[in-house]
Amino acid sequence: MRLGKKMGVVAAGAALTLSLAACAGEGAGSGNENAPAGDGGDDVKIGVAMPTETSERWIADGNAVKDGLEAAGYAVDLQYAGDDIPTQTQQIDSMITGGADVLIIAAIDGTALSSQLDAAAAANIPVISYDRLIRDNENVNFYVTFDNYQVGVAQATALLNGLGLTDATGEPTGEKGPFNVELFAGSLDDNNAHFFWKGAMDTLKPFLDDGSLKVPSKQTDIEQAAILRWQQETAQKRMEDLLTSTYSDGTKLHGVLSPYDGLSRGIITALQGVGMGPTIEEGLPVVTGQDAEIASVKLIADGVQQSTIFKDTRKLADQAVVAAEAYLEGEKPDANDTSTYENGVKVVPSYLLDVDTVYADNIQELLVDSEYWTQEEIESGQAE
Ligand code: BGC
């Protein structure tokens, strides 16, 4: 059973004392692995830092984390930073000085929060890295996320499946193409972008190697494919530039690897802008995605965008709440991965969730039956 608010802090403080005694000599900095000091006040306060409200997934994440924490009886300070790094660092600074007992942070730039993490550790505030790994600092206590490498595998598999090179499970069909594709990656300062890219490129490699898949622009490095801050307009512009530089001679484009629905919509706008499609059936290249954003789910239902990766943010929020509660009760959260997420300084114990690939024919099962979106929202393309 959950301890009462004040009890939780007292117990956590007691556990800290015990754990410090038990861990004496076990290594520098291990003290804050276990529990917050507690401020002795009546309320336990949790700071939740989210990157941006321009993408609806982060709004859903923020709301779900807030609701879960409030239902557990904690006060929540939820802040969005408009994808601006100084805003996010200021927000976290004020959560720390404002007496937060735990921090849950989805970073904009995973390498930009070191002084905040040092300050949190000095104040004995556990830090839970949310969805995106905070890098280059030892004071990240726990990481809740999805299996980011698998997201990349799933995106590439959806692309191969859409082209007919494999089936939906990634089993080669024997089809040899060749098919022309272009590749997009996320923001280089987001650790996830590198995992998505690696999972995707490992999956595409055999087909690139045997020539059944080609990248006519030859832009196959993540630095060339990356889109800073995951901006839709930047992706649209890059796609327009690629169409001009590489496809204006009539070379046919069959597919685009896109790691996020916002980018996918920018890419689709560029493709339709030169008269392709408007649907896949009418010749629009196969475009992948991620996040099951409502505008993209409608495009998938309408046969325009081919696929997206569904990450159930409700489950991720639940895990963040479970991890925060563990710290408040003087325990360590359970990890299901203790080897993958090396942040440049240490391997961060992690809890990874599975993802699903959404196509037009399983929208109902994955998104409507699970009550992630309603049928009406999908028809209108707008969240209610
Ligand atoms: C998240 C993705 C999201 C992207 C852009 C990544 O860190 O894992 O789900 O599409 O950021 O917001």
185, 230: one domain: yes
105, 181: one domain: no
218, 119: one domain: no
Strand partners, 76: 46
89, 234: one domain: no
DSSP state of 275: T
Which pLDDT value is given to residue 15? 39
50, 198: one domain: no
Which atom of ligand 1 approaches the CA of 230 most closely? 5
Q: Say whether 130 sits in a helix, a strand or coil.
A: strand
**Orientation of helix 5-23 relative to helix 313-328, angle to 10°:** 70
Q: Say whether 253 sits in a helix, a strand or coil.
A: coil
Instruction: Print pLDDT tens along the chain (384 aa).
Output: 233 333 333 333 333 333 333 333 333 333 344 444 443 334 899 999 999 999 889 999 999 999 999 999 999 999 999 999 999 999 999 999 999 999 999 999 999 999 999 999 999 999 999 999 999 999 999 999 999 999 999 999 999 999 999 999 999 999 999 999 999 999 999 999 999 999 999 999 999 999 999 999 999 999 999 999 999 999 999 999 999 999 999 999 999 999 999 999 999 999 999 999 999 999 999 999 999 999 999 999 999 999 999 999 999 999 999 999 999 999 999 999 999 999 999 999 999 999 999 999 999 999 999 999 999 999 999 998
Q: Return the CATH number at 229.
A: 3.40.50.2300
**String of b and e for 178-207 (b: at least 16 CB within 10 Å)?**
ebbbbbbbbbbbbbbbbbbbebbbebbeeb
Q: Whose CA is nearest to atom 6 of ligand 1?
A: 192
45, 73: one domain: yes
Q: What are phi and psi of 24, to 5 degrees?
A: -50, 130
Rounded Cα distance, 32 and 127, in Å: 9
Q: Say whether 361 sits in a helix, a strand or coil.
A: helix
> Who lines ligand 1 at CB under 6 A?
55, 57, 131-132, 186, 190, 192, 230, 260, 290-291, 311
Paired sense of beta strands 213-214 and 179-183, if any: parallel
Paired sense of beta strands 308-310 and 356-358, if any: antiparallel
Q: How far is the CA of 237 from the centre of ligand 1 (A)?
A: 20
217, 114: one domain: no
169, 238: one domain: yes
Number of domains in the chain: 2
**Orientation of helix 294-301 relative to helix 261-273, angle to 10°:** 50
Question: Contact 58/40 with Cβ under 8 angstroms?
Answer: no
Q: What is the pTM of this model?
A: 0.89
Question: Contact 140/116 with Cβ under 8 angstroms?
Answer: no
Q: Say whether 308 sits in a helix, a strand or coil.
A: strand
Domain interval for residue 60: 5-140+313-353
43, 104: one domain: yes
Q: For residue 128, which of 290, 353, 316 has the smallest C-alpha distance? A: 316
Which pLDDT value is given to residue 61? 96
38, 175: one domain: no
If you search the block for the tokens 């995707």, which residue do you land on?
200
110, 52: one domain: yes
Let me know if 125 is exposed, middle or buried by CB neighbors in 10 A (0-12, 13-18, 19+).
buried
If you search the block for the tokens 């099962």, which residue do you land on?
365
Q: How far is the CA of 317 from the centre of ligand 1 (A)?
A: 15
Which pLDDT value is given to residue 40? 35
**Best of 155, 290, 293, 316 to mutate for ligand 1, by most ligand atoms within 8 A of CB?**
290
Q: Whose CA is nearest to atom 3 of ligand 1?
A: 260
Which pLDDT value is given to residue 384? 86
Beta strands per DSSP E along 226-300: 255-257, 286-287
134, 223: one domain: no
